Amino acid sequence: MNYQEVIEELHKLANPDKVTFKKQKFGVVAHNSLGIYHKDLKELAKHLKKNNTLAIQLFDSNIYEARLLCSKIFDVKELKEELIESWVVTFDNWEICDSFSMGLFAKSKFAIPKIYEWSTRENEFEKRAAFATMAAYCMADKKAENEVFENFFPLIVKASNDNRLYVKKAVNWALRSIGKRNKDLHQQAISVSKELLALNTKSAMWIGKDAINQLTKPKVNILDYPRKIYRP
């Protein structure tokens, strides 16, 4: 499909009721949204495959779902820092932030430097992108050593006092994801969670308490990455 055919297909899938539902149910407030669920965009992406030219055209259309689709068909190996920065500053809800963070940023060579850089950003969804990328990086790079993730803990502690909903949820997500990577990081993540409780601020305590609850469940799934070192 060419650009015009994809846009036509998106309009065929449009459902204004879904725009309202996503806003009320999931807090997704999206500019110029057609009302298409993620699962339908994923199915469309399978047919399109990787196509960077088309992906950029879709993002530049300013149609919300076309931008989500961009994150699914862009080839991460061709990602440039300038392009990342031009995209991240446009994010205005958690869904598009997470779609790019999980689908592209965490899989790119820019993942770690952008995690550090964005963790100090003021904009809510640029800052969320740091921790959404961090959370996704736990699975994206299965060979990374523990030190990489141990170095993320100070970023988590520093951001834990940010009470904005979509920042603190991403910080919590990142902490839990690191804690599920292997048995050693699991214990360290619990220790960091207890450290957050001791900060005695509303957001830090929420992050810490929820992380402890999730990481100490009897059936919590602790992985063993990198497998060559951490085995049961």
The domain that holds 125 is classified in CATH as 1.25.40
Q: Are residues 38 and 137 in the same domain?
A: no
Instruction: Identify the domain containing residue 47 by its residue range.
Output: 1-74
Mean pLDDT of 212-224: 95
pTM of the predicted structure, to 2 decimals: 0.95
CA distance 48 to 142: 28
Mean pLDDT of 129-145: 97
89 occurs within a structural domain: no
Q: Are residues 36 and 117 in the same domain?
A: no
Q: Are residues 228 and 122 in the same domain?
A: yes
30 occurs within a structural domain: yes
88 occurs within a structural domain: no
Q: Are residues 112 and 70 in the same domain?
A: no
User: Does residue 89 carry a pLDDT above 60?
Assistant: yes
Our CA dihedral for 114, 184, 165, 133, rounded to 10 degrees, sits at: 30
Query: Domain boundary at 21, 44, 74, which?
Result: 74
85 occurs within a structural domain: no
Q: Are residues 55 and 99 in the same domain?
A: no
Task: Note whether 75 and 50 are within 8 A (CB).
Answer: yes
Whole-number pLDDT of residue 230: 52
Q: Where are the strands (E) in the chain, listed by range? A: none
Q: Are residues 69 and 137 in the same domain?
A: no
Q: Are residues 117 and 26 in the same domain?
A: no
Instruction: Count how many domains the chain has.
Output: 2
136 occurs within a structural domain: yes
User: Does residue 231 carry a pLDDT above 80?
Assistant: no
Whole-number pLDDT of residue 228: 60
Q: Are residues 231 and 132 in the same domain?
A: yes
Neighbours of 232 (CB within 10 A): 7
Q: Are residues 67 and 98 in the same domain?
A: no
CA angle 138, 70, 98 (to 5 degrees): 35
> Which residues are CB-neighbours of 219 under 8 A, at least 6 positions away?
none
Q: Are residues 123 and 216 in the same domain?
A: yes
DSSP summary character for residue 77: G
CA distance 94 to 177: 17
87 occurs within a structural domain: no
CA distance 31 to 40: 19
CA distance 184 to 182: 6
User: Does residue 85 carry a pLDDT above 60?
Assistant: yes
Whole-number pLDDT of residue 200: 86
81 occurs within a structural domain: no
Nearest to 29 by CA among 78, 97, 113, 77: 97
Q: Are residues 120 and 217 in the same domain?
A: yes
> Which residues are CB-neighbours of 81 under 8 A, at least 6 positions away?
110
